[in-house]
Amino acid sequence: MGIIQEEKIFLNQSLATQKDVFDFLAEQAKKLAISTEENQVYQKLVERENEGTTGMMDGFAIPHAKDQSISQPSIIIVTLEHGIEWNSLDGQLIDFVIALFIPDSEAGTTHLKLLSAVARLLMRNEVTEQLKAAQSKTEIATLLNEKIGENE
């Protein structure tokens, strides 16, 4: 099974701010049993963002949290109804969030591999265009799992 799972994809969410997105991600991380500590995950997302923006180009952001409360490396994807301010590299609003959750014990290895795989994918126009055009969780999961698999 790929690292991207359909139950971890949330389409067309009406979240208005970066804080709302982080709240939503932390809540889902707990609900999906990725982490036992919603508040810890939220804090880690905020701390990481304060070190430098995770807003990339073309409306994509890749926030990430690593913490001992996280049981296994996971990715949650959220698409937004409306773009939100994220201090992104190109100044565009963010409407596609790919969040990474990494256990502390794997911080150096899994974290960097996943992050670099996702970041590399987002530099490819055909990938970002396909993701934006995807109409379903299945399309998004299939596309990303195939593309991440190609990079391993």
Ordered per-residue pLDDT tens for the chain, 152 residues: 578 899 999 999 999 999 999 999 999 999 999 999 999 999 999 999 999 999 999 999 999 999 999 998 899 999 999 999 999 999 999 999 999 998 888 766 766 787 788 888 888 899 999 999 999 999 999 999 888 877 55
Kindly list the distances between the CA atom of residue 7 and the CA atoms of 10, 83, 112, in Å, as whole numbers in the listed order: 8, 23, 24
- HSE-CB at 135 with a 13 A cutoff on CA atoms is 0
Cα 137 from chain centroid (whole Å): 14
Q: The pTM is what?
A: 0.92
101, 75 Cβ separation under 8 angstroms:
yes
